[in-house]
Chain A
C-alpha cells in the first residue's frame, strides 16, 4: 500500500512536470537562472541550498546528539534522566513555523550580532565566512535545522545505546576498562543504529520547509559564503506554488518537487549502503 503510494506520487509528479522537462531537459538541474517573468527556470540554486543546509545541519547536530544520548543513557542518574529525556522529546514536537519565527526574530539577530562577527574575525580567511553579515542566510538556516533534528537523532541514539545488553558493559568493566572505554565500546556497537538516526534526521532536514523559509533569505543564488542568502527546494515550492500563474511555472515547481524526491531517495540509499558496509565489517 505505502509502496504503491510512493509510486503514484512520483508518477504523478513525473507526468505533471512534462512541460518543464520537455522545455529545459537536463539543463533544468544545471541552470541557476530562475525567473518567473521571463519563464526561464533552473533548479541548481535550490538543490545546492537544500543539500548544503541539510548536510551542514547534520554535521552540527551529530556530535551534540551523540553527546546528549551518551549522557542520558550512560552517565546521568535516573532522577535527571527522565525529565531530561522528556524535555528533549518535547523539542521534537514544536511546530516548525515556531522555529521559523524564533529563528527570524531571536536567533538571526543573535547570529548577526555575535556568532557571525566572531566567525569572520577568527576564520574570515576562509571563503565560507566572508562577505556582508545579514544574520539570516545559509548558515543560520543550518543552525535552525541542526536544532530541529537534534532531538530525533539523540532519541534514537539513546534507545540504541539502551538496547546494548548490560552483560557487554559488565564484561568490559570486568576486563578492566574505564568508564570512557566502556562507553566507547557501546558507541562502536551502536554505530549502525546511530547512523540510522542520522539518516532520519537528515531526511527531516531536507524536507523542512517553513523554518528554513523564514531564515534562509530566499534568494536563488550559489555563493561560497555561508553568510549569503540562499534558497531551498521545499521553500521555493511553498513560496511560489500558490501564486504561480503560468503553466510552465507550475510544471517547473513540480519538477523541483520531483528532484527533491530524487535527492531524498539518493541520500537515503547512500546512507543505507553506508550502514550496510559498516555493519558487515563489524
Chain B
C-alpha cells in the first residue's frame, strides 16, 4: 500500500518536472504590493479574478496601511504601493531620489468617510453642516441641541446632552480624508489641528481601527465618530447627511462619491494627485477621496513590468465593475481614461 503510494507520488513528481522543463515562458515571478487597508477587499478580489485571466500573474498584497505602502515603495521593497492619500511632494522627491526612478499615481476607486452617531430617541438621519462637524470635532459645539446643529434639523428633537467625540487613534487614510475635509472648510481646524494621517484631536477619545470607533460609538450614548462608508454599509450603521459645497445635504452613497469625482475632473492635475473633499456639484458627497496605487515609471524587471501593466489595464476596465458590489464607488469614465493613459506611460525594459 505504502509502496504504491510512494511510486505514484514519485511518478507525479517526475511528470511535473517534465512539464516544467517544457515550459519556455518567462520565469514565473510574484508581484508584491503593500499599503492601504481600505481597498484591500477589492484588491484581493481583483488579484483573484486576474489570476484566472492571466495564469502566470501571481500578485501578493499586504494591507499594512497607507503609510507603510508609501514607505515600502520608497525603499523599493515592493513592486507597487497603495495609499488612500496621494504622496506629498517631499515624499515623491525622496522616493524618486532614492530609486533614480519616477513614481506615478494611479487612482483605482473612490472611498469616503461617514459620520456615525448614537443618539437615543433619534432614528432619522441628522443633517450636519461643515460648520457643525468642525465645531463638534474641535470641541466648540458641546451639546446635541446646540443652535448650529438644531438650525438644520428643525424636525428632530435633539437632546440637551453632551456630545462624546470618538476618533481613529491609529494613523490612517480615513483620518487623513476627514482632516483634509475639515481643513478645507474650517480655518480654525487648519491652524489648530492640521491635516495628516495622525492628528491630535482636541476632544474625545480614540478607537483602534474602524471596528474600534464603531465599538465606542455603539456603546457610548450621545457619541459621534467617523468611519469608512464601506464599513458603515456592511455593519448597517446610522450615518449623517452632510452639506456639500453647493449647499445641499447629501446622503453618502456610491453615486454621490462618483459625482464628487466627476465634478472635480476639470481641475485634475497632470499627475492625478487630487483631493476631492468638499467637491462642487449638487449631488456630490463632500468627504470622499481617491485611493491610489503607487508605481515606478521605469520597470526594470521585464516580466514583472509587463504583468503589472496588463493587470492595471484590466483593473481599470473590467476590474472597475467589481467595485460597487463590494461597496466602493467606481471611477468616472474620464478619470479611467486619464488613469489608463498613465498606465501606458509605464516603460518596461
Within 8 A of B (CB), among A72-116: 101, 104-105, 108-109, 112
Q: Is the CB of B170 within 8 A of A245?
A: no
In the complex, what's the smallest C-beta–C-beta distance from B157 to chain A, in angstroms?
23
Residues of chain A with a CB closer than 8 A to B148's CB? none
Contact with B along A190-223 (1 / 0, CB 8 A): 0000000000000000000000011001111000
For B, the interface residue count at a CB cutoff of 8 angstroms equals: 34
Q: Is the CB of B162 within 8 A of A132?
A: yes
Within 8 A of A (CB), among B48-76: 64-68, 70-71
Residues of chain A with a CB closer than 8 A to B205's CB? 134, 136-137, 217-219, 229
B211's nearest neighbour on chain A, judged by CB, is A101
B258, CB-defined interface residue at 8 Å: no
Looking at the complex, which of A6-14, A32-40, A47-55, A61-69 is the stretch in contact with chain B?
A32-40
Q: How far is the CA of A249 from the CA of B197 in the complex (A)?
A: 12
Residues of chain A with a CB closer than 8 A to B128's CB? none
Residues of chain B with a CB closer than 8 A to A240's CB? 170-171, 198
B332, CB-defined interface residue at 8 Å: no
B301, CB-defined interface residue at 8 Å: no
Q: How far is the CA of A135 from the CA of B70 in the complex (A)?
A: 37
Q: Is the CB of A112 within 8 A of B219?
A: yes
Within 8 A of A (CB), among B244-301: none
* Contact A218:B200 (CB < 8 A) given known A104-B216, A243-B68: no
In the complex, what's the smallest C-beta–C-beta distance from B190 to chain A, in angstroms?
10
A164, CB-defined interface residue at 8 Å: no
A210's nearest neighbour on chain B, judged by CB, is B208
Residues of chain B with a CB closer than 8 A to A135's CB? 219-220
Q: Is the CB of B195 within 8 A of A213?
A: no
A242, CB-defined interface residue at 8 Å: yes
A35's nearest neighbour on chain B, judged by CB, is B200
Q: How far is the CA of A112 from the CA of B212 in the complex (A)?
A: 17
Q: Is the CB of B170 within 8 A of A239?
A: yes
Residues of chain A with a CB closer than 8 A to B65's CB? 242-243
* Contact A219:B204 (CB < 8 A) given known A37-B193, A245-B67: yes
B221's nearest neighbour on chain A, judged by CB, is A112
| Cβ contacts A to B, 16 pairs, < 8 Å | A37-B199, A104-B212, A104-B215, A135-B220, A137-B205, A214-B215, A217-B206, A218-B207, A219-B201, A239-B169, A239-B206, A240-B170, A242-B67, A243-B170, A245-B67, A249-B198
- Besides the contacts A112-B220, A245-B91, what 14 more A-B pairs have beta carbons closer than 8 Å? A36-B199, A38-B194, A104-B215, A105-B215, A135-B220, A214-B207, A219-B206, A229-B205, A239-B170, A240-B171, A242-B67, A242-B171, A243-B172, A244-B198
Q: List 8 tightest A-B contacts by C-beta distance, closest first.
A: A243-B171, A218-B206, A243-B67, A37-B194, A218-B169, A217-B205, A229-B205, A36-B198
